[in-house]
Amino acid sequence: MRRLFVAVLLSGAALAGAQQTPAPKPQEKPEAQAPDPSQLPPSQLPPEEDNEAKPEEYSFNPVKSKRDVEVGKQQLKKGNLKGAASRFTTATKWNEGNAEAWLLLGEVAEKRDDPKTARAAYQKYLELAPTAKNAGDVRKRLEKLKG
């Protein structure tokens, strides 16, 4: 038993004293460069980006604006202030001259405790409809938000 113990100790000492050579490094492969897209035939070009991921581009569209106002009103009836605000905001992007959308956006922003958005929406509403029947009430709301 002692002999085995001594043999193990000696072999361990011999290994520790031996020079250790580092493992050879694998040869690095040169990186493959992506081909220039202008040199590829159309069949090998990458697919276009997902259109769903692109931000919406707005142009004047009163029909979409009116639809967004109607959906926003439904959201408002359900108590979904965030959804309603989103629809009214979108309606103003489709048609910046949609006074009803600006008024409703101001009302929802006021309910959501967002005075900055409410002020901006009410001001735009008054620019578009300065002689509306409710213009006096909107001016009062606007003064209350300022002060």
Kindly report, residue by residue over 77-108, the tens digit of the pLDDT. 999 999 999 999 999 999 999 999 999 999 99
Residue 141 has pLDDT above 80, yes or no: yes
Boundaries of domain holding 67: 63-146
Supply the pLDDT for residue 53.
63
**Is residue 44 in some structural domain?**
no
Rg (CA), the chain: 35
Could you tell me if residue 77 is inside a domain? yes
Threshold 0.85, pTM exceeds: no
Average pLDDT over residues 40-63: 72
State the first-to-last Cα distance of the chain, in angstroms, to the nearest integer: 96
Residue 91 lies in a domain: yes
> Do the domain assignments include residue 128?
yes
Asked whether residue 34 is domain-assigned, the answer is no
Number of domains the chain is built from: 1
Residue 28 domain-assigned (yes or no)? no
* Residue 108, in any domain of the structure: yes
Token couple for 14: 């011999």
